[in-house]
Structure 1
């Protein structure tokens, strides 16, 4: 049975960025969160833990490359996600004011859409955003937890066979020797385990922001489409148009054009906020997915489960970006098609010119601009195809 917040009956105003808000508030980085001194100290602590974890994992993996390629991959595979999460954390902090403005402005615009059809658009997109980001959160949580579970199971089996406990962290990291001995070892173990959850919170928050904004902007575009079609509808072609009616339609159409322009501006501002995150994600996605699949092929037992869950989480991340880009692209094209299919040609020349201008602008698809990439399901197919080539190359070299 679904939790209530994943159902369509859950209040829509509480659906708004529900999972990203939970994840980023947990580590003190949500843009609308009050920046008190305890919150600032907590966010700095989490940033330090994540940053040191990235260094320790990368150093361990690089040092193990000449000695044991399997151990090296076991460290370098998760560190790629950790470094990307550090980038996301830094970007969210740097653009916190801009993100806060976008969150509040898009919320205000979507709350203005109150017709039955528009409420159905909102319910569908809000619920979809919550469900997808919650699934990503579950995948990330299971991945981080599985690393600790794998380490505990390995040591329990060693103890069952009369061997000594291996004092190392669940994620392969370099630490000074005194920190990996009793009585400090449990504290270091807990901090490393929390490092994994910080990584999860960062990518759930950033990826959830991207998906949420795309879906919420698509709601605004679909609502705009309905308003344009309803405004240009003609009940009877025999009814003569008057100057007063034309002027009223022109004024309403001007407001709709202004709404379309504002949506375009919001999309452009979103591009400026998310460009580093999205570019970094698409550049590293094939490498991360490929290395996790290779690790899954090299390991046995619990290691297979760990990297199977990890692969699902990384693929889900890329999927969120691609499905978000597809939603907003299709909403733009549907606005152009529906406006052209409306009864705009029954109106005055002035109304026709304004309608054609809107059609032309709608055909210039709004996308979150990323250098070299356009988030869409076609891009996801290309990434997976290239990842397959990397996996085949890596397995042939290792064997």
Structure 2
């Protein structure tokens, strides 16, 4: 029952407050990093993952120096993801108060005291539910991959035992890490295995929480921009039978239009504020995820040994692509929603306004045409960027196949 309540945000009949940052709240609360309530376990998890990253990278470079490419690739894939996760943990701690401000600001804008009205609440329901399911899919893909890593050594031992080949059993750990040899012997090996497996889940829940926070922010901004589009149409509706909006009607119109401009400024400023806090996280995520996808596909096509290895690397590639899609789709939603403000304003009967108000409208359209983006140094997260990454991955596949032939 408790599990069902925890995942009730996947159902479509819940109160709107249940969906608000549901997946990032779940993940970050487990790790102790939820901005509204920082817990001491956050620092414990940071130290645990730091140890895992250092020992895993050391093992990867050692395998590379020895010319063991298969083991090096198997080590660098999760090591790169864990290293970026450690960076995300650092910035989640550093900008905790700023993220709390963003959280409270969006809550106040989406849930005003008087409510949003049935039509807007229906839009919120649709957007919120889509966000929760999308974020949960990416988290599930990562959780499946981590679980496969953790179960692979145990499944191999089980299969050898069932086939009567117990003499061939070699106990190994889920991830390759350089540690003192006595930790890999009895009676410490089970504890070492649990510790290494736990570092994987720290990575997954921090990755899921941090990335889901980004996507949820983007969808909420897109929702607020959609509300602004609806309010622009509503602003002009009472005057559709007038030849010109002037006098008392003009004063009322100007008051309403000023409020819309202030809301647009508020949304734009909040987006710029959040984008600056997430700039390094976004850049590091794209670089690491692109490399991980390349390593996974290359290893899958050239040195994969079939069976569990294929399932493992397919899962890893799907998880990495899902996390990239979160950033790219979120950036596209923000950009398209902001640009559409100009189109909506242009289709309204602005010609009924006085010359003074037409100037305001013209300036509003000009500003809206400069798309609001989630760009970081060197690129902007969008579906176009995601397509380019897929094309690059296709080139890697073609290169790997040429090695096979």
Distance 1:293 1:121 in 2: 39
Deviations 1:81-129 (A, max 9, x none): 1111111111111111100000110111011361233212211111111
Structure 1 regions of 5+ residues with no counterpart? none
Which residue in the other structure is 1:45 paired with? 44
Deviations 1:223-244 (A, max 9, x none): 0111112112355445664411
- Is contact 2:244–2:353 with CA below 8 Å preserved after alignment? no
Equivalent residues in 2 for 1:325-364, closer than 5 Å:
325-364=331-370
Distance 2:241 2:9 in 1: 48
Which residue in the other structure is 2:88 paired with? 88
Residue 5 (structure 1) shift: 2.0
Is 1:306 aligned to residue 308 of structure 2? no
Distance 1:284 1:75 in 2: 14
Is 1:387 aligned to residue 388 of structure 2? no
Which residue in the other structure is 1:324 paired with? 330
- Is contact 2:243–2:352 with CA below 8 Å preserved after alignment? no
Equivalent residues in 2 for 1:275-286, closer than 5 Å:
275-286=279-290
For normalisation by structure 1, the TM-score amounts to 0.94
Equivalent residues in 2 for 1:1-399, closer than 5 Å:
4-33=8-37, 35=38, 39-40=39-40, 42-65=41-64, 66-112=66-112, 114-159=116-161, 160-163=164-167, 165-238=169-242, 241-297=245-301, 298-299=303-304, 300-393=306-399, 396=402
Deviations 1:157-185 (A, max 9, x none): 33330225433311111110111111111
Counterpart secondary structure, 1:366: coil
Distance 1:198 1:395 in 2: 35
Inter-CA distance 187–348: structure 2 relative to 1 (3 Å threshold)? same
Deviations 1:192-246 (A, max 9, x none): 1111100001111111011101000011101011111211235544566441111
Distance 2:154 2:224 in 1: 49
Aligned length: 394
Distance 1:283 1:140 in 2: 18
Distance 1:238 1:32 in 2: 50
Deviations 1:21-46 (A, max 9, x none): 1111111111111x4xxx22x11111
For normalisation by structure 2, the TM-score amounts to 0.93
Distance 1:168 1:162 in 2: 14
Counterpart secondary structure, 2:199: helix
Inter-CA distance 240–282: structure 2 relative to 1 (3 Å threshold)? closer
- Is contact 2:211–2:323 with CA below 8 Å preserved after alignment? yes
Distance 2:381 2:91 in 1: 19
Inter-CA distance 344–262: structure 2 relative to 1 (3 Å threshold)? same
Name the stretch that deviates more: 263-272 or 348-357: 348-357
Name the stretch that deviates more: 240-249 or 129-138: 240-249
Residue 330 (structure 1) shift: 1.0
Distance 1:57 1:381 in 2: 31
- Is contact 1:217–1:263 with CA below 8 Å preserved after alignment? yes
Distance 2:36 2:189 in 1: 36
Distance 2:237 2:351 in 1: 10
Name the stretch that deviates more: 279-288 or 76-85: 279-288
Distance 1:238 1:106 in 2: 36
Residue 307 (structure 1) shift: 1.0
